[in-house]
A and B are shown apart, each in its own frame.
Chain A
Amino acid sequence: MTGVVETRDRPRVGAMRVAQAALLSAWAGLFWFLFFSGQSWLYVGARTAWVVPTGGVVLSFAALGRWLSVRTTRREPVTSARSWALGLIALPVVVVMAFPPSSLGSYAADRRSAALGFSASGDASEGEITLVDLGAALWSEETAAALAGRAGNEVSFIGFVTRRDGMPADEFLLTRFIVSCCVADALSVQVRVVNAPAGRFEQDQWVEVDGAFYPLGDEMVVDAARVRAVERPERPYLNV
């Protein structure tokens, strides 16, 4: 390959290098912001939570190195193509910082796979019953049998409301996502809630449901004794 490298006699601050250092700093800043604000839980699961501070450290290291090497004897013109390339890499930082914090909702639940085949939290015949346990009754005969033996037990779950066309007014699906690494691998867990206050809760609204569960056909349903609106949890996704 043949190229032309124009040089100067004395090193000077290169504009492109300053832009690159600023870009790396912006990415490092984003990772530290996500880490310290707790907003990383909107994007990654517990298994990969370490990626966020690690990203902060390695990006800070790379940014520092670039800031310390901004002086060069080479001419590195600020071209349109290079500027747009840096702009493209800065775009995700702008997107994350500008878009209001949110989590996956009912739209995604309708398009993503359910957490079928997921190992439930343990032996469903004893101990605390989780949303994942009730969801597992749909595909695991063993779990369904164990839960049937505990029908009528009280449970309390937090999730968001998913309503489908044709559902009775006093029913909804209480939904939560399981994230193992990042939101891209999110799988939904849903349990039908019956006897909820009709028309009180909107699609995607976060609620806490207290009530007893019962088997109904292949699934487990929760007979709501109380449904109240709650804030989205700091960690909106369940983890494995």
Chain B
Amino acid sequence: MQTTTEARPIAPGRWRAGLVVLAALAAVGLALRLVGEAGGPQLRTFVLVFSSLLIEAFPFILLGALVSGAIEVYVPAAAFARLGRLPRGVQMPVAGLGGFAFPVCECGSVPVARRLAMKGMAPAAAVTFMLAAPILNPVVLVSTAVAYRGRDVLWPMVLGRAGLGLVAALVVGWIVSRQARDELLRARPEDDHEHEEHRSAEGGRRRRWPAFFEHVTTDFILLGKYLIIGAAVAAALQTFVPQAVIGAVAEAPILNILAMMALAGILSLCSESDAFVAASFVQFGMGAQLAFLVFGPMVDAKLGFLYVGTFSRGFLRTVVVSVAAVTLAGALWLEVFFG
């Protein structure tokens, strides 16, 4: 990295981009205010679903960014270096089970996983943690139990979700374990920026908290951007695709499981609430409902964009194919026993 010091006047043109963006935002706001309810039920439904997804997810993204920033700035790199020297066969299951101790939704686990990999944890273990945490965390398992209370399949659903989720996370971790950190993570120019700030902080010339807030802001902006695009796609699909279209395949073996996985991908629900939706699809068997609950927290429209912004090309495909295969096989197997 080079560091240059030179005097350069601030060009007035640099402000133009900011002013154009502000004007665009004002125009959108004015248009929405004027159109309002006259925009029809489609616009209203889209706005409500889009906004609610973000209102629920943004605090978790920021909490994830705060944890990620704290790991980067306050946890000594040596701690992760020691962890990184453990065999992958030990790191991955431990990372997967770490989800029990980190009760946040999938949006929060993405920045934390990236930071763990940056700090020296095996990237495969970080990915295993990222995928397992949204399913294995206690809040999610309790809400699953509440959604299925009073039904015969309560325990198969709760334990099946936890077990199958862990297996799917381990499989993806195993598949990406051949990739080095730089191959797996998407390069970000901000990393240079952050490391420069962090090095200054570690060198004792500056306090650490500015570096902490640099990390928090950078993660928030990067992931917030992808989350918004993902929420817009999910809201559009929720607005225009009737959920009844999948009802036609409720009785068709295998197809019913694939349909419920596709629905989970479209809806992009928080893993703490998706069990209530899954439980309402009574026309689908236990295996298909379980597939919805395992696939959704690992693969959906909003997560897809978060993965694209965080990981290198090809990661999204690996996750989609692997998680779909494990979920399908596991759901079929459990349906034979409990269906």
Contacts and interface: CB of A to CB of B under 8 A. Distances in A.
A113 B280 contact: yes
Interface string A152-190: 000000000000000000000000001011111101000
B193 A181 contact: no
B196 interface: yes
Contact of B62 (A2, A34, A58, A92): A58
Contacts of A232: none
A183 B225 contact: no
A117 interface: yes
Interface stretch (B37-45, B75-83, B125-133, B156-164): B37-45
Interface in A87-142: 87-92, 94-100, 102-108, 110-119, 139
B58 interface: yes
Contact of B277 (A15, A103, A185): A185
Q: Dominant SS at the B interface?
A: helix
A98 B210 contact: no
Contacts of A51: 55-56, 59-60
B277 A182 contact: no
A5 interface: yes
Interface residues of B, number: 93
B106 interface: no
Contact of A87 (B24, B52, B216, B279): B24
Interface residues of A, number: 88
Q: Dominant SS at the A interface?
A: helix
Interface string B228-260: 110100110011111110000000000000000
B110 interface: no
A66 interface: yes
A62 B62 contact: yes
A36 interface: no
A84 to B, nearest CB: 6
A216 interface: no
Contacts of A145: none
A94 B54 CA distance: 13
Nearest to A111: B242
B282 A139 contact: yes
A230 interface: no
Interface string B269-286: 110111011011111000
B25 A90 contact: yes
B295 interface: no
Nearest to A89: B224
Given A184-B238, A185-B269, A102 B224 contact: no
Contact of B216 (A15, A65, A183): A65
Contact of A113 (B212, B216, B243, B268): B243
A87 B21 contact: yes
A40 B32 contact: no
Interface string B129-150: 0000000000000010011011
Interface string B7-20: 11000001101101
Contacts of B280: 113-118, 187
Query: Lowest 3 A-B CB distances belong to which pairs?
Result: A181-B273, A107-B41, A55-B59
25 contacts: A20-B217, A43-B48, A44-B55, A47-B273, A48-B273, A54-B59, A65-B213, A68-B209, A68-B210, A78-B15, A80-B17, A85-B225, A87-B24, A91-B228, A92-B50, A92-B228, A95-B50, A98-B28, A102-B48, A104-B44, A105-B45, A111-B45, A185-B267, A185-B273, A240-B276
